Each structure stands twice: as structure tokens, then as C-alpha cells.
Amino acid sequence: MEQRVEEGRLLMGPGPSNVSPRLLRAMSRPLVGHLDPEFLKIMNEIQDLLRSVFQTSNSLTLPLSGTGSSGMEASVVNFVEEGDSVLVGANGVFGQRIAEMVRRNGGVCTVVSAPWGEPLSEKSMLEAAEKCQPGIIAVVHAETSTGVLQPLEPIREICDRFEALFLVDTVTSLGGHPVDVDSKKIDICYSGTQKCLSCPPGLAPVTFSPRAEAKLKNRATPCRSWYLDLNLIGSYWGEERVYHHTAPISMNYALREALKMIVEEGLEQRFNRHRQNHQALVAGVEALGMKMHVDPNYRLWSLNTVRIPDGVDDAQVRSQLLSQFNLEIGGGLGELQGKVWRVGLMGESSRTQNVLFFLLALETCLRTQGFQCPQGAGVQAAAARYTSSLS
Ligand code: PLP
């Protein structure tokens, strides 16, 4: 099994995604100190690149040391004080996680849920906001546990009505779907490196609007977390360069390279690539006789939830994909455990050849399970969909 890992697994699960050799080379550069003038230049470069990818001019934009959850935790612990009212849209695991963090930080949390596989209802969000008068409204843009893309505009409008800060989790969308921090007027935004940015897990890019920064500066009490205190971290990433904690140098090398690759590819180009490969995958899955879990209007391009056909053993298929094809996909989480497969097409992993290989491999596994599907239909339909999307 270790040998297969050395050969390079194809990572088509919910993250991490595959990483380019160029990025791995960047990580092996000699270390410098976290206050070395050369590293300070790299920090500035990373911040500029992050602004391009987040599509923002926010000055407080930086990568936190820690995985996506550290971005989530920082977004809560820095902005929620004891007794603050926060409205959280939770239609999957990650919305629920935000709500849990709000409660742990002394916030008064109102949760609006939706069936797993559907977006939040604007009406329910508005009604809840009228009741709880929130200072912050939080949603997950790309819910990795369900495959749903949450439309942001209607939630933004609710924020405007209540003058609430808009908090958005973009862990599975940044670099794969347009996030548009400035034009969507997102105030508090975090992501993770290991999804559509195609970098190893370990950093959480974050960005905060001037309004959010003002709230940060005017806190009545100090942030309860010292490690995630954005006022302190901002002094290291800002002009003062005050030591806070030792930055993970090699991870920052990796992130800089990943962001450079995104800017070189071009954001529009990259979004198109993610969309086209997603559409090809859907065509292939449906041609094999399976169904997608999410309505076409709300499907993520980066994470596809495919309903597991009756009589097919979830764990056996995933294990055969891994052992025979060196290919990872994810199982369902929470309510969707055993009901869906989660097929990631993120960053480097979002390639047409990966879609075709996956469909071939999946067909083989389905046949092993006795599931009847038209031979080669998945690959054919995906290829046809892909070529038509080019014209
Ligand atoms: N938010 C979303 C939408 C996620 O998909 C994830 C991880 O999959 C997280 C937050 C947490 O990120 P991490 O596992 O990197 O801490």
C-alpha cells in the first residue's frame, strides 16, 4: 500500500486535493527566519496574491497558521463577545461547527437549518433575523458535507437590513468558485489551503473588511484566544512586524507558489475549468444510471455529491477505488453517511483526465457489486459533455 502512495494517489475526495510538483519543490527551499528581510518580502507578496484571489482590497488579509478550522475559530473568537447575537445558517456539518464555536465563545446563537442538500431559505433567514437582531450573520458558501453552493446575495441583503457583519466560510470555494469578497461585501471571510488552492493542509487564508477591522479595534474585552488574536497577528503581518508566533515558513513558501499558479492561470480561466469538469462528471455519473444529490442550480463545481445506488456497498467501493485504482473519494458525513459519495474536483485535481479515469474506475467497482450500468457510457457522456462545453 505504501508503494501506491509513493506512486501518487489521485485525490478526488473532500480535500486535500493533489499538489503540483512545482509547489512541492517550493516547500523544499532552505529555511529562513520568520523575521528575515527575505521572508518579510514573501509575506507581502502572499498578502497581495491573497487579495487577488479573494478579490478584495482589504488591508487585513493574511494566512493564519492552522487548518481551515483555525480560520473559522478566528472569525468567531475575534468578533463575538459575551451575549452578542449571531445568526448562523447551518445546512451541513460546517455550519453546525460555526454555531458550536459561537456558543463556546459566549454568543447567543440562533440557527436556521435546511435539509442537507438544499440551500438556506431566505425567508427563514429573514424571519430569524427579525427575531434575533443579529450583529453577525454567518453562512458556508460551499458546504463540503452536502455539495451545496449557497447563493450569497440574498443573505447579503439581510445583513444590510440589520447592519450585521457578513461572515462567510469559503474553505471549499476559494480558487474554484468566484468568491468576490468586495463586490459581495463580505466582512469576515476565511478559507483553507488544501482544497481549491491545491496546497497541503496547514494554513487558513483570511480577510476582513474595514468594518470588521473597526469592530476588532473596539472590542470591549480582549479576544479570548491569545493564539488567534487578530490584533496581535495583524501586528506581525502589518507594518510593525512584531513577533507573535513563529510562522510556518515552508507552508508559506507553498502557499505563495500555489497563489502564483492561480494568478498565472487566471481566475476566470480557473473557474471555467472547475465548471467544465464538474459538468462532465455529472454527465458521466448520470449516464451510468446514478443520481446527483443536489439540484442543478445549487451544485458545487468543487465537490460533487453522488447518491449511492441501492444495494451497492459504500465502503467496499471506496476501498476498491483506493487499492485497485489508487484513487480516493470521500464517503458521506453526518446525516449523509452511507447515502452519498463526495467526489472532489478541486484545484490540481480538477482535470478532465481525472474525471474520465474516475468514471472508468467507478464503473468497474459498480460492476463488481453487481450494479448494472451501460458499458463505457459514463466516459462517453463525460467526454461528449466536455467537448461540447469547448465549442
Ligand atoms: N469549512 C468547510 C466548508 C470545510 O470543508 C472544512 C474542512 O473540510 C472546514 C471548514 C474545516 O477545515 P479543516 O479541516 O482544514 O480544519
CB 363 within 8 A of CB 349: no
pLDDT on residue 357: 98
DSSP string, 293-312: SS-GGGB-SSEEEEEPPTT-
- The whole-number pLDDT of residue 226 equals 98
Tell me the three cell numbers of residue 136: 453577525
- Residue 328 identity: E
Atom number of ligand 1 nearest to Cα 70: 16
Q: Which residues lie closer than 8 Å to 379 by C-beta, 6 or more apart?
A: 284, 356, 359, 360, 363
In short, whether 175's Cβ falls inside 6 Å of ligand 1 is no
Domain 21-264 has CATH 3.40.50.720: no
* 326-347 confidence digits (pLDDT tens): 999 999 999 999 999 999 999 9
Residue 70: closest CA among 215, 204, 162 = 204
Q: Where in the chain is the domain with CATH 3.40.640.10?
A: 21-264
Q: Report the pLDDT value the prediction gives residue 278, as an integer from 0 to 100.
A: 98
Please give the distance, rounded to the nearest whole angstrom, from the Cα atom of residue 171 to the centre of ligand 1: 6
Q: What is the pLDDT of residue 7?
A: 86
Q: Under the phi-then-psi rule, with left for phi > 0, alpha for psi from -120 to 50, and beta for the rest, what region is 11?
A: beta
CB 366 within 8 A of CB 373: yes
Instruction: Determine whether the shortest distance from the Cβ of 201 to ligand 1 is under 6 A.
Output: yes
Looking at the chain, the domain(s) classified CATH 3.90.1150.10 span 267-390
Q: Which fold has domain 267-390?
A: Aspartate Aminotransferase, domain 1 (3.90.1150)
CA of 218 to the centre of ligand 1 (A): 29
For residue 285, give Cα distances in angstroms to 261, 293, 355, 360, 384. Answer: 30, 11, 10, 10, 13
Atom of ligand 1 nearest to the CA of 204: 15
Separation CA 90–CA 92 (nearest Å) = 6
The DSSP bridge partners found for residue 327 are 10
Ligand 1 contact, 140 CB (< 6 A): yes
Q: Which of 17, 64, 69, 146 to mutate to test the pocket of ligand 1 (most atoms within 8 A of CB)?
A: 69
Of 94, 189, 194, best ligand 1 pocket probe by most atoms within 8 Å of the beta carbon:
94
Encoded amino acid at 168, one letter: V
Contact present, 140 and 150 (Cβ < 8 Å): yes
What's the chain's Rg over C-alpha atoms?
A: 21
The grid cell for 293 is 444529490
What pLDDT is stored for residue 6 in this prediction? 86
CA 378 – ligand 1 centroid, Å: 30
CA dihedral 267, 261, 150, 185 (to 10 degrees): -60
| Ligand 1 near 169 CB (within 6 A) | yes
Q: Tens digits of per-residue pLDDT, 11-55?
A: 999 999 999 999 999 999 999 999 999 999 999 999 999 999 999
The torsion angles phi and psi of 24, rounded to 5 degrees, stand at -65, -35
Name the 3-class secondary structure at 112. Answer: strand
Which residues are bridge partners to 143 per DSSP? 148
Predicted confidence (pLDDT) per residue in 149-176, tens digit: 999 999 999 999 999 999 999 999 999 9
The grid coordinates of residue 11 equal: 485525490
Ligand 1 neighbour 147 (Cβ under 6 A): no
Q: Which residues contact 317 (CB under 8 A, 6 or more apart)?
A: 308, 341, 362, 365, 366, 369
CA angle 4, 252, 267 (to 5 degrees): 85
Counting from 1 in the atom list of ligand 1, the atom nearest the Cα of 140 is 3
Q: How far are the Cα atoms of 24, 171, 369 from residue 67, in angstroms, in the given order?
A: 18, 10, 37
Distance CA 261, CA 268 (A): 13
3-state secondary structure of 167: strand
Q: Angle CA(137)–CA(125)–CA(102) in degrees, nearest 5?
A: 35
Kindly report, residue by residue over 129-154, the tens digit of the pLDDT.
999 999 999 999 999 999 999 999 99
Residue of the CA atom closest to atom 13 of ligand 1: 68
Q: What atom of ligand 1 comes closest to residue 144's alpha carbon?
A: 5
* Residues lower than pLDDT 70 in the chain: 1
Is the CB–ligand 1 distance for residue 71 below 6 Å? no
Residue of 326, 26, 304, 58 whose CA lies nearest to 166: 58
